[in-house]
Amino acid sequence: MHDACVKTFDLTCALVGAGKEICTNGVGGLFCTGVLRIAPARFLNTTYVCNHVLGFCQDFTIYIRDFARFRKSTLRNTPPPAPTRKSSSRALKVALVTDIHIDFYYAANSRVDCSVSSCCRVDSGAPRSDADRAGVWGTLGRCDVPERTVLSGVQFLAREVRPDMVLWTGDSMESGSYNASKELITRSMLRITEMFKRELAHDVPVFPILGNHEGYPVDNFDFEHPEAEDWLTGPTAEVWGDWLGPEAIQEYKARGFYTMTVPGRPRLRVVGLNSLLYAEDNLLTFINSTDPLGQIRWLESVLALAEQQGERVLVLSHFPTCCERSAEGYLILTMTFI
């Protein structure tokens, strides 16, 4: 079945002229693995067949529209707001770093406008004009950022901005999704981690989360079997441990999200969400788009406890949720706690 699916994918790819980067690099195999896993769970179950194929059953899916009633019933144990306390601490200087998209194969003087998703590389070909020539530090177009530019940016951040803390919200690897590999994703994250650790003052905490380009394939995270994502969370947990501490690292390694208070700021809490759970192209959302890995319920408990303890909370996410059911859950939390 898998081989037949791959052959069909490759044939269709060639017929529509999708380009070699999609029709090669094992994309068909990845696609078919996901589809063949999801189709039985999503479409070959008694509920779906009875409702949508045979038409014998009434679809019992309920979309919650009365937000006030849902909030009252689901969050009835939420403690009352803590009294506002005037802080005696000085203001924090916070740096937000996101979508670095480092490209280890960037090549100055290469072609900017090429025929694939990632240009400005040796294999992009020779430029057709000066305007089509990649610069040394980066170029606007279908190009990502060379390693030297990322390092220069981190050095500027450390020496000139001098932040008290850094929020690093994902998408470290180059944006050419079909060039992705597990090795390239982890290499990108570990290299940028190394830059932060070498250039920033040792007492500057960094709070990292995953972006959609950290998934393999892009946008995907196996929330049914999170241990399968240890290739990603394992190596990063090893090098992020001195930033996040043992409890947060244990949470992150198990499910890709975490919470902790900011060192030296016991009433300021950071929540790092796993945005991959709700990525639009995460195939597993066809199976469960409501609350994968229980992240919404977990966030509810974290926010309720923080409110009870009089903490302020920074919630980090790479992007909003893709799906209506989970979006409703986050909307309720927003209405309740903000």
Round the CA-based radius of gyration of the chain to a whole number and report it: 23
Residue 42 and residue 164 in one domain? no
Which residue, 3, 226, 213, is CA-closest to 98?
213
How many domains does the chain contain in total?
Answer: 3
Residue 276 lies in a domain: yes
Q: What's residue 23's pLDDT?
A: 55
Give the CATH number, domain containing residue 163: 3.60.21
Round to whole Å and give the CA distance between 239 and 235: 7
CA distances from 52 to 44, 46, 47, 285 (A): 11, 10, 8, 19
Round to whole Å and give the CA distance between 216 and 194: 22
Residue 60 lies in a domain: no
Residue 136 and residue 224 in one domain? no
- Structure-token match 């009875």, residue found: 50
Residue 233 and residue 125 in one domain? no
Mean pLDDT by 10 residues, the chain (338 residues): 60 54 53 55 54 55 47 60 64 95 95 89 91 95 95 98 97 81 94 98 96 86 86 96 95 96 94 88 71 87 91 92 71 76
Residue 333 lies in a domain: yes
Main-chain dihedrals φ then ψ at residue 259, nearest 5 degrees? -145, 150
Q: What's residue 61's pLDDT?
A: 44
Residue 156 and residue 178 in one domain? yes
Where do the H-state alpha helices sit in the chain?
A: 2-16, 20-23, 27-43, 46-48, 67-74, 147-156, 182-199, 230-255, 295-308, 324-337
Residue 155 and residue 191 in one domain? yes
For strand 265-272 and strand 258-262, is the pairing parallel, antiparallel, or unpaired?
antiparallel
Residue 220 and residue 179 in one domain? yes
Round to whole Å and give the CA distance between 107 and 212: 25
Residue 61 lies in a domain: no
Residue 127 and residue 256 in one domain? no
Q: What's residue 60's pLDDT?
A: 42
Residue 182 lies in a domain: yes
Question: Which helix (DSSP H) or strand (DSSP E) does residue 96 occupy?
Answer: strand 94-97
Structure tokens at 106: 């960037």
Residue 133 lies in a domain: yes
- What b/e readout covers 293-302, taking b as 16+ CB neighbours within 10 angstroms? bebbebbbeb
Residue 217 and residue 78 in one domain? yes
Contact 106, 146 (CB under 8 A): yes
Residue 37 lies in a domain: yes
Residue 92 and residue 203 in one domain? yes
Q: What's residue 134's pLDDT?
A: 96
Round to whole Å and give the CA distance between 167 and 238: 19
User: Which residues, 6 or more positions from 301, have their beta carbon under 8 angstroms from its beta carbon?
Assistant: none
Residue 227 and residue 316 in one domain? yes
Residue 182 and residue 230 in one domain? yes
Omega before 217 cis (within 30°)?
A: yes
Residue 173 lies in a domain: yes
Residue 99 and residue 196 in one domain? yes
Domain with 43, as residue range(s), is 2-54
- Structure-token match 């929330």, residue found: 223
